[in-house]
Structure 1
Amino acid sequence: MKLIGSLASPYVRKVRVVLAEKKLDYAYELENVWSPDTRINESNPLGKVPCLMMEDGSPMYDSRVIAEYLDTLTPVCKLLPPNGRDRADVKVWEALADGVLDAAVLVRLEKTLRPAEQQSEAWTTRQMAKVGAGLAVMSTDLGESPFCTGNQYTLADVAVGCALGWLAFRFPEIDWRGDYPNLARLYDKLSERQSFRDTVPQQ
């Protein structure tokens, strides 16, 4: 398999963490989707990373689809319960973490790609409200549990860890550590894992 991605994307990081936790071999191809000469559309018509190229040459895209597929390839470090409510709970956590990222990414694009005179303060405020609300729910739902869904490390923790790590990388002004000490404790614990140490976001 070959993973097409970037060193900064939190969605790519999620897939890289899963690949590491599952101990799966893959080639890694860096791609800047914002570059004029990007070729990502040859693999993903949506022009996004991550994109996983399968052994038969077919592409798989969207980090949630890729992560769920990778978890089926080996019983090593199962990240998703087999079925039922437990599995849905993990996927809801993942959707929440990705939703926080979606909103924050939109704010970053507004501020970095759009001329200052064209930027919408109302739009930015709306998206940042989603980030704040998402973080608050994460903290409430985590409570004092060691992991997002209780006592077991799952894809929920991978997704939340990647979201928090990217916020620390791109939005250091958001004091989620001070506001939500339990999220800080979870992130610090996740950051000790080799899979997280090897995938710290970079420019």
Structure 2
Amino acid sequence: MQLIGMMDSPFVRRVAVSMAVLEIPFEHRSLSVFRHFDQFREINPTVKAPTFIDDDGTQLIDSTLILDYLDQRAAPEERLMPQDPTVRRHALHLIGFALAACEKTVQIVYERNLRPQDKQHAPWLERLQTQLAAAYGTLERDVATAGAGAWLCGGRLTQADITVAVAWRFTQHILPGAIEPARYPALAALSARAEALPAFVGAPLE
């Protein structure tokens, strides 16, 4: 199995961390969709990260679809998505807002770094920042409700914890100061706890 993409992408990193937790061995090919565009295109013509290649050569793209496939390979008791419908719904709620935070972070970075300054649209950036803060505000309330030292969907690490923690670390890394940790203490604590786990340490944000 191969996972292609840079760990500075939260979408790549959530797959890598999940595979480590599930103890699924894989080869990581650290290709950038920018710096290695032509090389990446030879593998996947859409140049989308993450790209996952199974042992038989089948390609999967989109982190959520990749993770769904990998989760189904695991025994039910080891899966990262909860099996109980109510708990699963809560996990999907958390994952959805975390992925929204990732998307808004990426949009802000692209607007600031890829568009010439005189072409940047201040109202659009303000809207993105508002959406980003709203996503983390929702997650902060949910994480705080779970309680200090608790995982978000029961007594063990799930995909909700992985995705929320990866999203938080990504925003803090690539947009320092945009979301102040002091205003989101529950999220900051969850992130610190998750980032100390071997699966996270083994997939460092590049």
Partner of 1:99: 100
**Hey, which of these two has a bigger chunk of helix by percent?**
2
Residue deviations 1:67-90 (CA, integer Å, cap 9, x gap): 121112223742112252322221
Partner of 2:24: 24
CA distance in 2: counterparts of 1:176 and 1:71, whole angstroms: 33
Partner of 1:155: 159
SS at match of 1:60: strand
Change (3 A) 1:6 1:36: closer
1:193 alignment partner, one of 173, 181, 197? 197
Gaps of 5+ in 2: none
CA distance in 2: counterparts of 1:151 and 1:176, whole angstroms: 28
- Contact 1:53/1:60 (8 A) holds in 2: yes
Q: Does 1:2 align with 2:6?
A: no
Q: How far apart are residue 9 of structure 1 and its match?
A: 0.7
Q: How far apart are residue 144 of structure 1 and its match?
A: 4.1
2:181 alignment partner, one of 177, 193, 202? 177
CA distance in 2: counterparts of 1:60 and 1:137, whole angstroms: 30
Q: Does 1:109 align with 2:113?
A: no
SS at match of 2:38: coil
Change (3 A) 1:15 1:55: same
Task: State TM-score, norm by structure 1.
Answer: 0.92
Kindly provide the amino acid, as one letter, of the partner of residue 114 in structure 1. R
Kindly provide the amino acid, as one letter, of the partner of residue 202 in structure 2. D
Of 130-139 and 193-202, deviating more is 193-202
Identity %: 26
CA distance in 1: counterparts of 2:202 and 2:183, whole angstroms: 27
Kindly provide the amino acid, as one letter, of the partner of residue 16 in structure 1. A
Partner of 1:14: 14
CA distance in 2: counterparts of 1:10 and 1:92, whole angstroms: 18
Q: How far apart are residue 42 of structure 1 and its match?
A: 4.1
CA distance in 2: counterparts of 1:138 and 1:37, whole angstroms: 34
Kindly provide the amino acid, as one letter, of the partner of residue 73 in structure 2. L
Gaps of 5+ in 1: none
CA distance in 2: counterparts of 1:57 and 1:153, whole angstroms: 30
CA distance in 2: counterparts of 1:17 and 1:35, whole angstroms: 24
Partner of 1:82: 83
SS at match of 1:158: helix
- Contact 2:133/2:179 (8 A) holds in 1: no
Change (3 A) 1:36 1:7: closer
Partner of 2:47: 47
Change (3 A) 1:172 1:90: same
Q: How far apart are residue 138 of structure 1 and its match?
A: 0.3
Of 115-124 and 146-155, deviating more is 146-155
